[in-house]
Amino acid sequence: MTTITTLVGNPQPASRTLAVAEEVADQLAAVTGAQRDETIDLADVAKRVFDFPSAEVEALLERVARPGILVIATPTYKASYTGLLKAFLDRYGTNGLAGVTAIPVFTIGSPAHALAVEHTLRPLLVELGASVPTRGLAFPTARFDERAEVVAEWLEAQKASLV
C-alpha cells in the first residue's frame, strides 16, 4: 500500500502550514486510498538539523525518501521556502528522493507569491529526483478557516494526475 508522508518546514511548531499540509494529506488519502504516516514537523527538530551525525534526523530523512507520496509544505519566506526546509533537504544527495511523488504546498500571505511554489520548491524537488505530477498548492492564509474547501477545489483539479 502507498504511504503518504507529510513534511512541514515551518520553524514555528503546530503552525497553520502544518494544519494545511495535514488537510492535503487527509484528502489525498481519501482519494488515493493511500495510508497516512505520522507528520514530520521540522520545528520539532530544528536545533538538530545541523548536527552531524544525528540519528533522529537521519531517521526522518529515510522516512521522507521512502517511495510513496510526500506532501511537503512551507510558509512563504522572501518569496521562497524556509531555510529550515532547505537545510533539511540539503542533506540528500543527487536523486535522494527518487521514487517519491511530491506534492508541494506553500502557505502564502499575498497573491503575489502564488507562483513561488512552482518557481522555487518544484525545481528543488525535481533536482532531488522526485516526481512532481501536480501543480503546487499556493494556499492563501486568509482562507485558513476554509482549508477543507480550498484543498478540495485544488485536489479536484489535480486528481487526474494522481489516480
Reported as a single tens digit per residue, the pLDDT across 102-140 is 999 999 999 889 999 999 999 999 999 999 999 999 999
Structural domains of the chain in order of their starting residue, each with its CATH number: 3-157 (3.40.50.360)
Q: What is the mean pLDDT of the chain?
A: 95
* pLDDT > 90? residue 162: no
Residue 96 confidence (pLDDT): 97
Question: How many whole angstroms separate alpha carbon 22 and alpha carbon 137?
Answer: 13
Whole-model pTM: value is 0.96
Residue 163 has pLDDT above 80, yes or no: no
Query: Interior CA angle at 68 toward 55 and 116, to 5°?
Result: 90
Determine the Cα–Cα distance for residues 15 and 63; give it in Å rounded to an integer: 21
44, 5, 18: which is closest to 139 by C-alpha? 18
